[in-house]
Amino acid sequence: MQTLLLFLAAGALGSLYVFPFLRTDETAVESDFMADGAYSVLDHPANMALFGLSALLALIAIFLFRNRKVQMQLTKILLLITGAAAVVAGVLYVQDTGDTTIDFQLGVGAVLPVVAIILMAISHRLIRRDEKLVRSMDRLR
């Protein structure tokens, strides 16, 4: 189950490269990010690096199923990196647009980091539950 959840989280983070955070019908000449009518991960190197790192680490965490302690630590780190990436994306957008008023619609990409964080949190909980189960079985021997 944890493998599936981590894979879905990696897929959600990877699909951020396709789906934008925000869309607008008007092009904002003052804004570097919204000049093409969409704010996506590809608009800033920090966004690309943080979300790409999160997706890659989620895929790596899948293959650490034999070492649950390391897998739990990696999912904690993933939660922090993904949360930080979402905050960085929001801060960069606010800094870029400044005082300009742009009418925008939320894109699918605005929801995907939240979905990934929820999936990783559930995965972490399931990994922890498995670790407790294995420890209790070791005590019975």
pLDDT in tens, the chain (141 residues): 889 999 999 999 999 999 988 887 776 556 666 667 788 888 888 889 999 999 999 999 999 888 889 999 999 999 999 999 999 988 888 887 776 676 778 888 889 999 999 999 999 999 999 888 888 887 766
Instruction: Residue 92: give the domain boundaries.
Output: 2-133
84 falls within a domain? yes
The pTM for the full model equals 0.84
b/e for 12-26, b at 16 or more Cβ within 10 A? bbbbbeebbbbbbee
Domain count, the chain: 1
12 falls within a domain? yes
Q: From CA 127, how far away is CA 28, in angstroms rounded?
A: 45
15 falls within a domain? yes
17 falls within a domain? yes
pLDDT of residue 107: 83
